[in-house]
Chains A and B, each alone.
Chain A
Amino acid sequence: MTHDAPRLLPCGDTAFTIEFGKRIDAHLSARVLALDAVLAARALPGLLETVPTYRSLTVHLDPLRADPAELGRAVLALAGEPLAAVPSTRLWRIPVVYGGEFGIDLEAVAAHHGLAPGTLIERHSAPEYRVAMIGFLPGYAYLEGLDPGLALSRRPSPRPLTPAGTISIGGAQALVASIAAPSGWHLLGRTPEKTFVPERDPVFLLRPGDRVRFVPTPAARWDALAAAAEAGELVAELCEG
């Protein structure tokens, strides 16, 4: 297939963005993650951090150790080469209690799509998602792979506070929320897993490129799983390979 040529966009003297496109799309996300892996392997002088998103990679640099324009051109050249897709070796199986107090928008979203709530749960938990980006707030994992038939634009007004662990959808995006925050997305469920714990190693459970599956879990198990997570246990299951 043909690709749009990647573009180099300046972000001042400490960063630049390589833009692969302007859509949420599995192919774009795969190219972003592939370039990210290439840069991680090269250790270019002056390159500090990279931030993958659905459709772009931002490179943060030290302007004392690298010329931003030169480094930008070098990374753009790498982005234009054929990029081997990076196989993700990590798959997370994340328990989710859907509906009721855990997902207060489940019934309305199901009704909007003309689905039974159980069918919505099946279709939301069917795909293998991939973490396309983490951003906005610490540990907020934005997933690629939502069933296009479930896409739904945001609520007209955001809710002032939604709980940590919220599993929600907004447009074509699916989200695992790490901490409590305002949100205009549709809340389908909640996971007892903690994806951001500053005192834990690793601090952040999910990494860009990780695969994710949601495991529908009975509400009756919430208390036990939440207590285990609170005690520092992993309640999500990590499958390597």
Chain B
Amino acid sequence: MNAHLHLARLTGAASLQDGGRRGYLRFGLSASGPMDPLAFAAANRLVGNAPDAAALELGLAGASLRAEGGAARLALAGATSGLRLDGEPAAAHRSFILREGSELRIERPREGVFAYLAVSGGFAARSVMGSRALHQRAALGGLDGRLLREGDRLPLAASTTGEAEHGLDPIPLEPAAPIRVVLGPQDDHFPQAGLATFLGQTFTVSNRADRMGYQLDGPEIAHGPGGFNIISDATVAGSVQVPGSGRPIILLADRQTTGGYPKIATVISADFRRIAQRRPGETVRFAAVDLATATRLAREEAARIAALSSRLKPVEGEAERLMAANLAGAAVDALRAED
């Protein structure tokens, strides 16, 4: 049997995601892809992958995985708390080798929501409509068009050899930072009092939160005389809808592509991961920025993702341990020369 990771235990939601499925918005299909694009790219870069290779997304999840049929070079990034390799504590935000037969235990995160487990060479799921990303509601992509479950075997696209190991500084989750928005497209649908509530009050992420969207609890945002129905128009990633309840819903990676509730604002693309990493019960405050600022921040965020490769740091790993044991000095020198 080819090398795979056996998902022996899973609590919480897990799916395969890649850079997303583009080009089908006009047919009613949103892109999917990672809820935290920076952490997802970091996990991939740590194992030498392209930043959009297929990786495992864990949402408030704990898991145990065993390497079967071969070794795997792995890295975990994003909302992480604790890792154990065959029972020994291990670190996130660095690459490591999971030997054949060894077990990786990932604890449920105590902060944030989404963690990404990337494997060198990526996972070998079938590409559907140009992507391996799961879109759960459309039952597309991922492993057989569904969330992962205990007992699944995740096939690896490539076998692993002994590359150098790398680390990255963890990405701060910033659970208290305001979520920046650009007002519109239907901000003129709301009276001044509704806008003041939206920008001045504190909301809480409710339990009705998934990859489609997060419904917020908190004060009611007043609608204008036009009420809470519009003739449906398109939504975008980060649209803030205000339905009849007056409590906003932030639309996310697997959102519906059109909707009939007015959208008071749009979360800027650079803060998409910040709202996605906010857990049920955590607070959300919004701050309006202008479009020029949002665009500048989008470019800075893209530069941050592009710079991940150059910020990888060699870490003490297998090679160093071998050298310490004075067994493989020459091999280590050769690895060093590649850095």
Binding site for B on A (CB under 8 A): 9-17, 19, 22-24, 48-56, 58, 60, 63-64, 67-69, 133-140, 142, 178-179, 198-199, 203-204, 207-208
Greatest chain A CB density within 10 A among B230, B231, B295, B299 is at B231
Q: Is B281 an interface residue, CB under 8 A from the partner?
A: no
Taking a contact as CB atoms under 8 Å apart, the answer to whether B291 and A10 are in contact is: yes
Taking a contact as CB atoms under 8 Å apart, the answer to whether A11 and B239 are in contact is: yes
Chain B: CB-nearest residue to A63: B298
- Produce 1/0 per residue, B148-186, CB < 8 A to A: 000000000000000000000000000000000111111
Taking a contact as CB atoms under 8 Å apart, the answer to whether A136 and B291 are in contact is: no
- List residues of chain A with CB within 8 A of the CB of B294: 12-13, 63, 68
For the complex formed, measure the closest distance between the CB of A105 and the CB atoms of chain B, giving whole angstroms.
21
Listed A/B pairs (8) with beta-carbon separation below 8 Å = A11-B263, A13-B270, A13-B297, A53-B258, A55-B231, A60-B25, A135-B234, A135-B258
Taking a contact as CB atoms under 8 Å apart, the answer to whether B29 and A138 are in contact is: yes
Return the 8 tightest CB-CB contacts between A and B, nearest first: A135-B258, A12-B266, A9-B185, A58-B234, A13-B294, A51-B234, A138-B29, A10-B184
Taking a contact as CB atoms under 8 Å apart, the answer to whether B258 and A9 are in contact is: no
For the complex formed, measure the closest distance between the CB of B224 and the CB atoms of chain A, giving whole angstroms.
13
Chain A: CB-nearest residue to B263: A11
Chain A: CB-nearest residue to B230: A22
Which of the residues A9, A48, A198, A208 comes within 8 Å of B140, measured between beta carbons?
A198
Which of the residues B137, B138, B185, B233 comes within 8 Å of A10, measured between beta carbons?
B185
Taking a contact as CB atoms under 8 Å apart, the answer to whether A60 and B236 are in contact is: yes
For the complex formed, measure the closest distance between the CB of B287 and the CB atoms of chain A, giving whole angstroms.
14
Q: Is B55 an interface residue, CB under 8 A from the partner?
A: no
- List residues of chain A with CB within 8 A of the CB of B232: 53-54, 133, 135-136, 142
A-B contact count (CB 8 A): 142
Taking a contact as CB atoms under 8 Å apart, the answer to whether B129 and A203 are in contact is: yes
Taking a contact as CB atoms under 8 Å apart, the answer to whether A14 and B256 are in contact is: no
The secondary-structure label for the interface of chain B is mixed
For the complex formed, measure the closest distance between the CB of A10 and the CB atoms of chain B, giving whole angstroms.
4
Q: Is B238 an interface residue, CB under 8 A from the partner?
A: yes
Taking a contact as CB atoms under 8 Å apart, the answer to whether A136 and B257 are in contact is: yes
Other A-B pairs beyond A12-B294, A135-B234, 6, CB < 8 Å: A11-B234, A17-B185, A19-B233, A51-B257, A68-B295, A138-B28
Taking a contact as CB atoms under 8 Å apart, the answer to whether A10 and B183 are in contact is: yes
- List residues of chain B with CB within 8 A of the CB of A23: 231
Taking a contact as CB atoms under 8 Å apart, the answer to whether B291 and A68 are in contact is: yes
Taking a contact as CB atoms under 8 Å apart, the answer to whether A138 and B26 are in contact is: no
Which of the residues A11, A50, A137, A139 comes within 8 Å of B236, measured between beta carbons?
A11
Greatest chain B CB density within 10 A among A11, A13, A49, A69 is at A13
Contacts A11-B266, A13-B298, A14-B298 known; A49 to B185 CB distance under 8 Å?
no
For the complex formed, measure the closest distance between the CB of B131 and the CB atoms of chain A, giving whole angstroms.
11
A56 vs B236: C-alpha distance when bound (angstroms): 14
Taking a contact as CB atoms under 8 Å apart, the answer to whether B299 and A64 are in contact is: yes
For the complex formed, measure the closest distance between the CB of B132 and the CB atoms of chain A, giving whole angstroms.
13
Residues 274 to 304 of chain B near chain A (Cβ within 8 Å): 291-292, 294-295, 297-299, 302
- List residues of chain A with CB within 8 A of the CB of B25: 49-51, 60
Contacts A9-B185, A53-B258, A136-B256 known; A14 to B231 CB distance under 8 Å?
no
A220 vs B205: C-alpha distance when bound (angstroms): 51
- List residues of chain B with CB within 8 A of the CB of A135: 28, 232, 234, 256-258
Taking a contact as CB atoms under 8 Å apart, the answer to whether B236 and A14 are in contact is: yes
Residues 12 to 54 of chain B near chain A (Cβ within 8 Å): 22-29
A60 vs B185: C-alpha distance when bound (angstroms): 14
- List residues of chain B with CB within 8 A of the CB of A139: 27-29
Q: Is B327 an interface residue, CB under 8 A from the partner?
A: no
For the complex formed, measure the closest distance between the CB of A144 and the CB atoms of chain B, giving whole angstroms.
12
For the complex formed, measure the closest distance between the CB of B256 and the CB atoms of chain A, giving whole angstroms.
5
A13 vs B256: C-alpha distance when bound (angstroms): 19
Which of the residues B28, B128, B231, B268 comes within 8 Å of A13, measured between beta carbons?
B268
Which of the residues A9, A48, A58 comes within 8 Å of B22, measured between beta carbons?
A48
Taking a contact as CB atoms under 8 Å apart, the answer to whether B182 and A9 are in contact is: no
- List residues of chain B with CB within 8 A of the CB of A198: 128-129, 140
